Amino acid sequence: MGNVDKNAIKQMVGEVDDRLKSRPNYQAESMDEREQLYSAGRGYNKRFVRNGSDLLAHGNSRGGMDTLLTILTDGKLVHSIGIESYGNLGIVPFNGYVGHLDSGFGLFVGTNRDISAEVRRSLTEDNYVVSLDALDAVVVPTPLADVLKEKFPRVKILGYKEYAKKLDDMCIIFDYYEKKKLEERKFKLERKGFE
């Protein structure tokens, strides 16, 4: 990662851990929320696959809290080519199918279009960089999101449940307008039949 002070990160890890002491099992508690998010992600991607609006995710699967805090402090993700990639939100990789890994320490979500633009802009021989500003959100378990939002107010950090609700709401709106379009087409065809 960039020029981040490792001692400052270590101190931040301690502060975050202290804030979460009342919820020592928050990662396990968030499993239901994580499943809600995955379901919402799959539903969103079924509807918004056009024009690169489908959502991709990259999980901080090998790192822990210190890696997450370093990324948030740095404001960017630096990926090694051929090792790290993005997969469809809500799809956990299996049998060679590309999805994302999520260990609860950061799921970095953005549209296919925006992430692809970041990759093209920053691609080198060894790596590429994705700015956190280009992402739709950094998604973490809800108790952790509450703490991180205070520490990083300029980063779009959402809890699993909050982000799942946002996606579900967008799907409801999408379905409403699709239904309206179908009704208008049906009405036009019926009207044409009477002329």
pLDDT digits 0-9 by tens, 27-85: 777 788 888 998 999 999 999 887 788 898 888 766 788 889 999 999 998 887 776 77
Determine the pLDDT at residue 132: 95
* 0.85 surpassed by pTM: no
Q: Which domain holds residue 115?
A: 6-194
Q: Would 1 be classed as within a structural domain?
A: no
In a domain, 145, yes or no: yes
- Closest of 82, 79, 39 to residue 59, by C-alpha: 79
What is the tally of structural domains in the chain? 1
Residue keyed to tokens 């020592």 = 24
**How many Cα atoms sit within 13 Å of 105 on the Cβ side?**
16
Compute and round to an integer the Cα radius of gyration of the chain: 20
Q: In angstroms, rounded to a whole number, what is the distance separating the alpha carbons of residues 149 and 152?
A: 5
Rounded to whole angstroms, the Cα distance separating 179 from 185 reads 10
Residue with tokens 């020029």: 3
